[in-house]
Amino acid sequence: MPDSAARVVVSGSSGLIGRALVASLRADGVEVTRLVRREAEAQGEVSWDPQRTPLDPSVLAGARAVVALGGASIGRFPWTRRYKHELVWSRLAPTQALAAAVRALGDEAPSFVSASAVGYYPTQPAVPGERLTEQSRRGESFLADLCGEWEVAARGAGPLARVALLRTAPVVHAEGVLKPLTTLTRFGLSGPIGRGTQAWPWISLDDEVRAIRHVIDSDLDGPVNLTGPTRATANDLGFALARRMNRPFLLRAPAWGLRLALGRDAADALLLSDMNVVPERLEASGFAFRHPTVEDAVAAAVPAG
C-alpha cells in the first residue's frame, strides 16, 4: 500500500484467501476492518447480515478499498438445485449489499474489489489452445452464468466507484484445489483426470494475495485474471503433487466416472474443462509472479514427502 495508514474493508475474511489477505495487510501496518456474520468480538470487526439488513455506508467511509470475497464452496457435491441456489445467493447477496453501500458514498466511495472466477469463460475452447484473456467471451455453463451475475452485482457500485473484478483460478494450496487430490495421492490413487491433457487454470495462494494487493495499489478496474502465467494441464498439477509426495501417478479417472460421481455440471466445469486463462492485465501492469509455474506453486504448498 502506498499509505501505511490506509484502511481496507474485507468480507469473506474467514476463508482461505481472506485469512491470508488480512494477515498480509496487517503485517504491513494496514488497518483492516473485517465484516463478520456473527457478533463482533474483536477490534476491527463489524457484524453484518447481508441477506437481511443493508450495510451502513459509514462502515466503508474513509477506506482505500473494499474487498469482497467468500461464497459457498463450489467443491461441495452434488450440485443439487438447492445447492446451486446457495452457490448463487451466497455470492450475490453480500456483493449487492456492499455495492449499495459503496454507491451511497458517491464521490467518496472506496475502490470496490470483488471476487469472480475463471468459471466466467467457456469450459472448452473454440480453438484448441485458445488463450482466454479478460476480453474473451463469457461461457454458457452454470458457473459462467453465476460469474456473470456476480460481476453485474459488483458493478452496482455505480459509475463513481472504481470496480475491479477478480477472475480467480483455483488456488494451489492444501485447503484449495489440492485438498481432494492430496488424499488420493497419499493412498497411491492419483492419476490422469479424464484425458489429463486439458488446461487447468491455477495460482498459488501467495500470488493470489499479492495480486489482490497489486490490483488495489495499481488502481486497476474491470476484469482482471488472477491466474498463474504458465499454462499447466491436469496431468502437470497431478504429477507435480505426486512427485512432491513421492507417490505414484498411475490410476486414470475416466470422464464418465467423474460425471457419474459428481454430476455432469460439476465434473465438466471443475475437472474436465480445458481453459487456458492468462493473466494479461496483471502482467501488463507490471505484476511479477513469485511462483511462475504450477510446480513452483505445489512445492510452496506441500512439504516434500
Rg (CA), the chain: 19
Residue 2 lies in a domain: no
Domain contains 120: yes
Amino acid (one-letter) located at 214? H
Give the chain's domain count.
1
Helix (H, G, I), strand (E, B) or coil at 256: helix
- What per-residue confidence (pLDDT) applies to 6? 85
What proportion of the chain, given as a percentage, has pLDDT over 70? 98
Q: Report if residue 74 sits inside a domain.
A: yes
Biggest distance spanned by C-alpha atoms of the chain: 58
Mean pLDDT, residues 199-218 taken together? 98
Query: At a CB cut-off of 8 Å and minimum separation 6, what does 35 contact?
Result: 9, 10, 11, 13, 45, 46, 47, 48, 55, 59
CB atoms within 10 A of CB 180: 10
Pairing mode, strands 131-132 and 171-172: unpaired
Q: State the CATH number of the domain containing residue 226.
A: 3.40.50.720
Q: Tell me whether residue 85 is in a domain.
A: yes
Q: Is residue 15 part of a domain?
A: yes
pLDDT band of 129, cuts 50, 70, 90: confident
**Cell output for 137:** 467471451
Average model confidence (pLDDT) across the chain: 95
Query: How does pLDDT run across 23-60, given as a tens digit for each residue?
Result: 999 999 999 999 999 999 999 999 999 989 999 999 99
> Does residue 82 belong to any structural domain of this protein?
yes
Find cell 448463487 and name the residue. 88
Q: Which residue has the higher pLDDT, 109 or 126?
A: 109
What residues have CB less than 8 Å from 53, skipping those under 6 apart?
Answer: none
Reference 165, options 120, 106, 105, 108; nearest CA is 120
Residue 143 lies in a domain: yes
Residue 138 grid coordinates: 463469457
Is 1 among the domain residues?
A: no
The sign one gets for the Cα dihedral 140, 142, 144, 150 is positive
Domain span at 252: 7-301
**Residue 114: its H or E element:** strand 111-117
The C-alpha cell at 39 is 457478533
